[in-house]
Structure 1
Amino acid sequence: MSTRISDWPVAERPREKLLARGADALSDPELLAIFLRTGVAGLSAVDLARDLLAEYGNLGALLRADQARFCQTSGLGPAKYAQLQAVLAMARRHLASEVSQRCALTDPDATRDYLRLQLVGMQHEVFACVFLDTRHRVIAFEPMFRGTIDGAAVYPREVVKTALGHNAAAIICAHNHPSGVAEPSRADRDITRRLVDALALVDIRVLDHLIFAGDTSVSLAEQGLL
C-alpha cells in the first residue's frame, strides 16, 4: 500500500473513517496517525504510529513520555510534543468539567479517567486528593505531596486542613506508582487508614484511594481496604 494516506481508499483513511464511523472505530495507530498528520520518508503516518507504539509498548506509555525522549524519535519534535501536551490538557479540562457535574460514586469510571490523566507522565510519586461536596461532586483537585520514585510523605493533618478549607464532605485520594506496579504497599494501606481515622474526627469520609501505574489502577475500596 502507498505510504501516502491520500492514495488509500477513502474508507481506509483514518480521518475519513473517524468522520464516518466515530473515533471508537479507529485503532490506536489510526488515532495516533491523525495526531501525527504526516509520516516520514518511506512511512505513512499510520506506519509511523505503529512503529511508535511498538517502541513504547502502548499508547499510554507514549503519552507519558517526557520531552527529551519524545523528541528523539524521527518525525517528532518540540512542536509535536507541544501539541500532545495541549491535547492532554484539553482532555484533563474536559474530564474535570464532566466529573464536577456528576456524583463521583455513580460515575467512578469518569473519576478514575480524570485522575489518571492528572497523574499521567509524573516521574515522581505524587499524592493528590479530590475534594467533594455533600452530593459527592468535585469541589477541587489538589496535588498534596510530592516524593521520590520510592515514595511520598503524606501528612494527614495537611489533608484535614485542606479538606476543611474546601468545606468538603468527602475525599478521594490518589497517587501514582512510577515503578509500574499498581498493587498497594503496606505503607499505602497504613496511610489510608490514618487518613480515614483523621478525617472521621471532622466528619469527612474517605471514599476511595486509587493507585495508578501506567495504564493500570487499583482501588483500595474495591479491595475492601477502606
Structure 2
Amino acid sequence: MTKKPDAQLLIRDYAEEDRPRERLIRQGPQSLSNQELIAILLRTGSKEESVLKLSNHLLHQFDGLRLLKEASLDEIMLIKGIGEAKAVQIMAAIEIGRRIGNLAFHDRYVIRSPEDGANYLMNDMRFLNQEHFVCLYLNTKNQVLHQQTIFIGSLNASIVHPREVVRP
C-alpha cells in the first residue's frame, strides 16, 4: 500500500484483498465495520475526501448508526460530499434494514413469555427517549392481533389507568 502525502488513502490505494467490497465477498458482511458498509453504499468519495473518510465523517456526525437511522434526507445532505443521490441510497438501505427487522413480527407472532413480548417490541422501542406504555392485544392462541401505544410518559415513568388498557 502506497502512502499519499496528505494521508488521503483512496480505495484503489489499498491492497485488493483489503478493500471493503472484496472483503465482503470473501468474508461476508459481518466482517466489515459500519464505516466500510456505508462506504460500499456510497460507492465514491468526493474531490476532498475518500469514500472511507466520507463514510467516517457521516457516522461521526450522527454519532454512529443510532442517530443516522432517524436522520432526514436534508440532514444527511448537510454532510459535505453527500448529495441527494447518496443520501437517498443511505435512507433506502436503512429502510430496508428496518423492514427486514420487522418481517418476522408481522406474521401473527405468538407470545408465550414476557421475553417474547419484549422481543416483539424491542426493535420499535429500543431507542425511544421517553417511557412508552404499549399494549399487545392477543387472540386466544396468544397471537398478536394489535399493538397500541396507550401513553407516552416522562423520561422514566408512565402512569396509566386500567380502563385505558381495556377500552381498546
For normalisation by structure 1, the TM-score amounts to 0.54
Coordinate RMSD, CA, aligned: 3.6
Q: Larger Rg: 1 or 2?
A: 2
Asked if structure 1 preserves the Cα contact closer than 8 Å seen for 2:73 and 2:91, the reply is no
Query: For the structure 1 residues 201 and 56, does the alpha-carbon distance in structure 2 shift closer, same or farther, using more than 3 Å as the test?
Result: closer
Out of 88, 110, 114, which is 1:103 matched to?
A: 110
Cα 1:11–1:62 shift into 2, 3 Å: same
Question: Matches of 1:31 and 1:176 in 2, distance apart?
Answer: 36
Relative to its length, the structure with more strand (as a share) is 1
> Where does structure 2 lack aligned partners over 5 or more consecutive residues?
none
Q: 1:51 to 1:200 in 2, by over 3 A?
A: closer
Alpha-carbon distance in structure 1 between the residues aligned to 2:27 and 2:101: 23
Which of 149, 156, 159 is equivalent to 1:184?
Answer: 156
Show the counterpart of 1:30.
Answer: 36
| Mapped contact 1:100–1:139 kept (Cα < 8 A) | no
Task: Please state how far the C-alpha of 1:39 moved relative to its aligned partner.
Answer: 1.0
- Helix, strand or coil for the counterpart of 1:76? coil
Partners of 2:166 and 2:125 in 1: CA distance: 29
Q: CA deviation at 1:139?
A: 3.5
Which residue number corresponds to residue 93 of structure 1?
A: 99
Q: Identity of paired residues, percent?
A: 25
Gaps of 5+ in 1: 146-153, 155-174, 178-182, 205-226
Classify 1:7/1:198 alpha carbon distance in 2 versus 1 (closer, same or farther; 3 Å): same
CA contact 1:36–1:45 (8 Å) conserved in 2:
yes
Tell me the equivalent position of 2:163: 198
1:79 partner SS:
helix
- Closer/same/farther in 2, CA of residues 66 and 26 from structure 1, 3 Å limit: same
With over 3 angstroms needed to count, the CA separation of the structure-2 counterparts of 1:137 and 1:47, relative to structure 1, is farther
Q: Is the 8 A contact 1:5 1:45 kept in 2?
A: yes
- The 1:91–1:55 alpha-carbon spacing in structure 2 relative to 1, beyond 3 Å, is closer
Give the number of equivalent residue pairs. Answer: 157
